[in-house]
Every structure is written in structure tokens, then in C-alpha cells.
């Protein structure tokens, strides 16, 4: 097995992967129309459904795309031509859903909340009530990765069903990192991708869809490549992706799912959460402040307000850490400057300790603290 330099990615995905996932991509060339590849595809699909606990009523559509492609596919495939979608936004990914709808001329009602602030379920219900005749769906982000806030999945989905609406959940950076049960949580459409908490390579997005809901979308014709129903039907009938799949990326995803199953869902959540706790304690001790109120944290990513010191430069700090194997990520929320530390991927508490030591060393060296 080829050993590769290990970088600790603290950016919010693509996340650090294992060498076994990287090496899983080195396989003999294969035509993806061969049955062997079809079986691999269906196996991956079924396992993704299992991870979301959707075996009873859900299927899964695999697409060659980054996560945004999956969100675009979902919004443009399922909202009927004469209906609107209510989009809850408390960060950049919520705004992105609105931009996708604008690009396709899909009518949307926006519930905009300042980034990092929680959803007010009472307000959301009022908004649903006042637009009920026009709406077919409510769309929102589960873990809003711009800021690290966790929106209440079960509560929002339950509310949509109370008004006979369906829901679309962008669970890009929470799927496989936080316990999600599409049955228990009443999720109709859940979108995620291969390169975040499932710890594989970028290139595959997937939509875990309630089959009864998906069936109703067969007549909606607004898109082509990204048509969920067409992609679903083709894969189901032919055991093949409708269009060319990212062959090697799928092998890596297969391996990553095996490793997820070996680690176990609970252990993965616990590993991520323990790294968050270590990070939180030390960063607060160093005098930093968080953007999001503690009780709303997803514990997968932390938005930290830039230090006030005139010696501080994000780029310089980034480069110092990067040279030492750690990648951090900037973040700007309205007029507030932040930087972000994510704790997903194949990383461990000892990596976070190492990072924090070098982070503190840098801050002292530059007299920022
Ligand atoms: C990563 C992410 C996306 C997708 O981003 P891509 O760059 O298209 O992969 C969408 N929504 C959320 C919440 C994300 O974290």
C-alpha cells in the first residue's frame, strides 16, 4: 500500500481520509456498465440508506457532483412547477438554496435569520401558515457549515408534515457525523456528499429520498442531468448510473463506508464530539470567543471570532499552520470576521492536541495573545 503524507484538514470538508480509502481508488480499469460495477453501485446505495435508517421507506439516488449538485438536483426535481418552497436560511448554504431556485425560476419564500442565530419554530410555523396554499416543500440546512450551528431536524420536519408539506434537508456535513434517522426524524429528502463525515473522496452527491415522494416527481420536467427520478429509474432498472460515474471515487466511497461500519456510528459521533470538546476548552482558555451560542453547536465545526490584536492576519496564521501540516479555514459572516476549525474526518484527539500546541505557539510568537 502506498503511504501518503498525512495532512490534518480542519477545513469543513473535504476531510482527511485514511490511506486505505486513498488506495481503494487504485483498481483495474473497468467499464462502469459491467455488472461487477453495478453491484458495487447498488451496494453503496443500500449502505447509504442504512446509515440514514431509511430501509423501510427510502431509496437513494447517486449523482456525479459535489454536494451543491445534489442540493440543486433535489430542489429542481421535486418542487412542482406551480408551487413554492420555503427556504430557511441562517448561513451561506441556506442562501445558496435560494440562489439555486432563482437560477431556475423556482418560486421561494425565504425565512432569513442572521447567520449563526437559531431557527424560531414559532415564526417558522407562522410563515408556513401564511403561505400554505402556495407551498409544497420546506428546505433547510441541518448543520449550517458556514457557522457551525445545528438546526433542529426532527422539529422542523415534524412541522412540515403537520401542514402536509414535504421537507428537503441539506445534511451535507452532518450525515454520518451526527445521528440521523430519516424515519424517526420524518425526513423526506436528505442530501449529502462523499467527502465530509463519511470520509471519502469528493465527487459523489446522494439524495436519500422517500420513495412515495420521489414517485410523485416523475412528471416534473425542469432539468436534465440532475433529474432525480430519471437517475433513480435508470439505476434501478439497469444497475448503472444514468451517466458516467466517477468510477474510482465510488471504490473509495465503498471503502469509506466499510470503515464507517467498522468504527460504528456511535463511536464516530463520540470521536468527533470529543475533539470538539478538547478544541473548545483550549480555544476559550486562550481568550477567543465563538460566533454561535454553545447550546446550538453541532460540535462538528467551530466559528471563532478573529482576535482583536493588530498583529493578527488570517493568511499568515494559515500559512504557519499549513507548513506544519494543518489546514484551517477562513469565514466571513456579514461584517463579522471569523475563522473556522472543523473536527470531522480521519483525525483523532491527539491531532487536535498537536494542532492546539502549534496554534498557541504561533499566537505567542506573534504576540497576538
Ligand atoms: C459542503 C457543503 C455543501 C456543498 O458544497 P460543495 O462545495 O458543493 O461540496 C452544501 N451544504 C453544506 C451545508 C455543506 O457543508
Q: Whose C-alpha lies nearest to ligand 1, atom 14?
A: 172
pLDDT of residue 3: 84
Average pLDDT, integer, range 81-108:
98
131-135, 251-255, 275-279, 329-333: range with lowest mean pLDDT = 329-333
pLDDT of residue 114: 95
The alpha carbon of 215 and the centre of ligand 1 are apart by a number of angstroms equal to 26
The alpha carbon of 345 and the centre of ligand 1 are apart by a number of angstroms equal to 15
Other Cβ atoms closer than 10 A to 321: 18
Atom of ligand 1 nearest to the CA of 205: 9
Domain ranges of the chain: 26-261, 265-365
Going by their DSSP bridges, the two strands 329-333 and 336-342 should be labelled as antiparallel
Confidence of residue 90 (pLDDT cuts 50, 70, 90): very high
Atom of ligand 1 nearest to the CA of 144: 13
Atom of ligand 1 nearest to the CA of 68: 8
The alpha carbon of 291 and the centre of ligand 1 are apart by a number of angstroms equal to 20
Q: Whose C-alpha lies nearest to ligand 1, atom 12?
A: 172
pLDDT per residue as tens digits for the range 193-244? 999 999 999 999 999 999 999 999 999 999 999 999 999 999 999 999 999 9
Taking CA atoms, 142 is separated from 147, 150, 169, in Å, by: 12, 6, 6
Atom of ligand 1 nearest to the CA of 173: 15
The alpha carbon of 89 and the centre of ligand 1 are apart by a number of angstroms equal to 14
Burial zone of 201 (CB within 10 Å; 0-12 exposed, 13-18 middle, 19+ buried): buried
Mutation test residue for ligand 1: of 170, 178, 246, 340, the one with most atoms within 8 Å of CB: 170
pLDDT of residue 292: 97
**Whole-number Å distance between alpha carbons of 306 and 143:** 22
Multiple choice CATH, 265-365, 3.90.1150.10, 3.20.20.80, 1.10.260.40, 3.90.1150.60? 3.90.1150.10
Confidence of residue 2 (pLDDT cuts 50, 70, 90): confident
Atom of ligand 1 nearest to the CA of 71: 10
The alpha carbon of 34 and the centre of ligand 1 are apart by a number of angstroms equal to 31
Residue 203: partners with Cβ closer than 8 Å, 6 or more residues away: 64, 65, 66, 194, 195, 246, 249
Report the CATH architecture of 26-261: 3-Layer(aba) Sandwich (3.40)
Taking CA atoms, 156 is separated from 63, 89, 242, 278, in Å, by: 26, 13, 33, 30
Phi and psi based region of residue 342 (left: phi greater than 0; alpha: psi -120 to 50; beta: remaining): beta
| Closest listed residue to residue 174, CA positions, set 73, 265, 66 | 265
Cell of 305: 471570532
The alpha carbon of 130 and the centre of ligand 1 are apart by a number of angstroms equal to 30
The alpha carbon of 301 and the centre of ligand 1 are apart by a number of angstroms equal to 13
Confidence of residue 280 (pLDDT cuts 50, 70, 90): very high
The alpha carbon of 68 and the centre of ligand 1 are apart by a number of angstroms equal to 6
Q: Whose C-alpha lies nearest to ligand 1, atom 4?
A: 67
Confidence of residue 100 (pLDDT cuts 50, 70, 90): very high
pLDDT of residue 153: 98
pLDDT per residue as tens digits for the range 306-359? 999 999 999 999 999 999 999 999 998 888 999 999 999 999 999 999 999 999
pLDDT per residue as tens digits for the range 145-179? 999 999 999 999 999 999 999 999 999 999 999 99
Q: Whose C-alpha lies nearest to ligand 1, atom 3?
A: 67
Q: Are 132 and 159 in contact, with CB atoms under 8 Å apart?
A: no
The alpha carbon of 54 and the centre of ligand 1 are apart by a number of angstroms equal to 22
Name the average pLDDT for the chain: 97
The alpha carbon of 67 and the centre of ligand 1 are apart by a number of angstroms equal to 5
Q: Are 214 and 59 in contact, with CB atoms under 8 Å apart?
A: yes
Average pLDDT, integer, range 107-126:
97
pLDDT of residue 218: 97
Residue in the block written with cell 481568550? 287
Atom of ligand 1 nearest to the CA of 196: 1
Counting residues of the chain whose pLDDT is more than 90, the rounded percentage is 98
272: pLDDT strictly greater than 90: yes
**Whole-number Å distance between alpha carbons of 95 and 112:** 8
Atom of ligand 1 nearest to the CA of 91: 13
The alpha carbon of 260 and the centre of ligand 1 are apart by a number of angstroms equal to 20
Using CB distances shorter than 6 Å, the residues near ligand 1 are 12-13, 66-68, 71, 93, 141, 145, 170, 172-173, 193
Amino acid at each position: 500500500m502506498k503511504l501518503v503524507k498525512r495532512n490534518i484538514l480542519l477545513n469543513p470538508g473535504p476531510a482527511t481520509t485514511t490511506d486505505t480509502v486513498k488506495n481503494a481508488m487504485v483498481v483495474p480499469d473497468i467499464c462502469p456498465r459491467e455488472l461487477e460495477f453495478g453491484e458495487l453501485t447498488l451496494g453503496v446505495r443500500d449502505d447509504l440508506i442504512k446509515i440514514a435508517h431509511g430501509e423501510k421507506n427510502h431509496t437513494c439516488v447517486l449523482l456525479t457532483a459535489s454536494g451543491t449538485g445534489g442540493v440543486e438536483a433535489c430542489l429542481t426535481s421535486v418542487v412542482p412547477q406551480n408551487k413554492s418552497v420555503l427556504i430557511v436560511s441562517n448561513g451561506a448554504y441556506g442562501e445558496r438554496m435560494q440562489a439555486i431556485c432563482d437560477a431556475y425560476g423556482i418560486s421561494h419564500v425565504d425565512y432569513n435569520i442572521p447567520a449563526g442565530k437559531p431557527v424560531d419554530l414559532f415564526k417558522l410555523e407562522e410563515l408556513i401558515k401564511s403561505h400554505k396554499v402556495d407551498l409544497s416543500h420546506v428546505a433547510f440546512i441541518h448543520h449550517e457549515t458556514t457557522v457551525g450551528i445545528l438546526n433542529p431536524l426532527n422539529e422542523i420536519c415534524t412541522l412540515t408534515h403537520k401542514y402536509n408539506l414535504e421537507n428537503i434537508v441539506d445534511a451535507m456535513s452532518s450525515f454520518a457525523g451526527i445521528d440521523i434517522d430519516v424515519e424517526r426524524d420524518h425526513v423526506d429528502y436528505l442530501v449529502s456528499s462523499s467527502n465530509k463525515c463519511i470520509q471519502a473522496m469528493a465527487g459523489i452527491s446522494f439524495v436519500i429520498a422517500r420513495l412515495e415522494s420521489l414517485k410523485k416527481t416523475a412528471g416534473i420536467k425542469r432539468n436534465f442531468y440532475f433529474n432525480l427520478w430519471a437517475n433513480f429509474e435508470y439505476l434501478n432498472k439497469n444497475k448503472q448510473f444514468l451517466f458516467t460515474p466517477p468510477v474510482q471515487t465510488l471504490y473509495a466511497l465503498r471503502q469509506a463506508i466499510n470503515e464507517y461500519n467498522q468504527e460504528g456510528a456511535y463511536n464516530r459521533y463520540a470521536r468527533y464530539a470529543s475533539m470538539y470538546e478538547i478544541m473548545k476548552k483550549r480555544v476559550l482558555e486562550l481568550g477567543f470567543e465563538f460566533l454561535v451560542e454553545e447550546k446550538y453547536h453541532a460540535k462538528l465545526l467551530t466559528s471563532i471570532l478573529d482576535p482583536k490584536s493588530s498583529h493578527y492576519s488570517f493568511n499568515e496564521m494559515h500559512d504557519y499552520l499549513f507548513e506544519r501540516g494543518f489546514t484551517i479555514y477562513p469565514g466571513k459572516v456579514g461584517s463579522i470576521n471569523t475563522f473556522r476549525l472543523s473536527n470531522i474526518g480521519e483525525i483523532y484527539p491527539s491531532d487536535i492536541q498537536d494542532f492546539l500546541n502549534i496554534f498557541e505557539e504561533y499566537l505567542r510568537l506573534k504576540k497576538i495573545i
